[in-house]
Amino acid sequence: MRDFSLEKYAELCQAINKNGYRAVSYSEYLANKNAENIIVLRHDIDRMPLNALAMAKVENKHGIKSTYYFRIPGTFKPEIIKEIANLGHEIGYHYESMDQANGDHKKAIENFKQNLAKLRKIYPVETVCMHGNPLTKYDNRDLWRHYDFKDCGIKGESYLSMGPDVAYFSDTGRTWSNKFKGKDHPIHADGRFDHIFPETTDDVIKLINDKKIDKFCLTVHSERWSATYLGWFGYYGLDLIVQMAKTLLRV
């Protein structure tokens, strides 16, 4: 079975259910950080919102809830967002305000508030997640060095509000390891899970099957997961280009 296909993602959902874990949205995690045997599922919708809808349907079929973070204007498609919300998933804002304001935090907070209000006309957004563009010098989380997101009615930021007892894995770069993560890492991680290096989705499934980790957070970019060979190879090519760009930037 191809990795990063919807079929493989369905297998991941089955492993979550089979091993007694409870998949939760980010707001559910924040409401009870002491909960055990949980997997926080988060989706950064950087591109291809239709892929997000397809993934949301797979999760719904398996009785799984998760959080979908949408960019504005990049992936802001109200009808798709409404349909995903109607499937029982949480909707959040994938903000990139420092990038869009060229590092000016005063302009950035206005950008944040305007876009948040736009998204809240569709869904009562309670959590946000920064977009980590590897091609900019800004870290969008730096906005909160100057402001408090709680003043905007936000309960949590997915990188800043996650406890160190949560094992965090992301599919950035078409691998679950840390090879191409860049800005994609939780701020409060204390290194306790740094010795765990899953590469493939089968590796992640094995970690779930082993039941040695009490709390996971999985960040899944739905554009990377396709039900067709054409879509799979198309995004595979884009991933290769992005990975080469990240490598050159490091050099």
Segment 12-61, tens digit of pLDDT: 999 999 999 999 999 999 999 999 999 999 999 999 999 999 999 999 99
The answer to whether 59 touches 66, Cβ cutoff 8 Å, is yes
CATH superfamily of 6-250: Glycoside hydrolase/deacetylase (3.20.20.370)
Q: Are 68 and 52 in contact (CB under 8 A)?
A: yes
Handedness of CA 110, 115, 118, 120 (dihedral sign): negative
Distance of CA 132 to the CA centre of its chain: 11
Those residues of the chain that have pLDDT short of 70 are 1, 180, 182, 229-251
Tokens at 128, concatenated: 């946000």
What are the start-end ranges of the E strands in 144-187? 156-157, 167-170
What is residue 102's three-state secondary structure?
coil
Residue 237 is predicted with a pLDDT of 64
**Terminal Cα distance for the chain, rounded:** 35
- The C-alpha torsion from 157 through 196 and 18 to 20, rounded to 10°, is -60
Cα separation of 166 and 156, whole Å?
15
Structure tokens at 26: 């980010």
- The predicted pLDDT at position 134 comes to 81
CA distance 201 to 184: 18
**Residue 58 belongs to what H/E stretch?**
helix 49-61
pLDDT value, residue 250: 54
CA distances from 14 to 29, 31, 53, 54, 215 (A): 20, 25, 19, 17, 17
Residue 141: the pLDDT is 97
Contacts of residue 174, Cβ cutoff 8 Å, sequence gap at least 6: 4, 224, 236, 239, 243
| Residue 191, pLDDT score | 83
Q: What is the pLDDT of residue 106?
A: 98
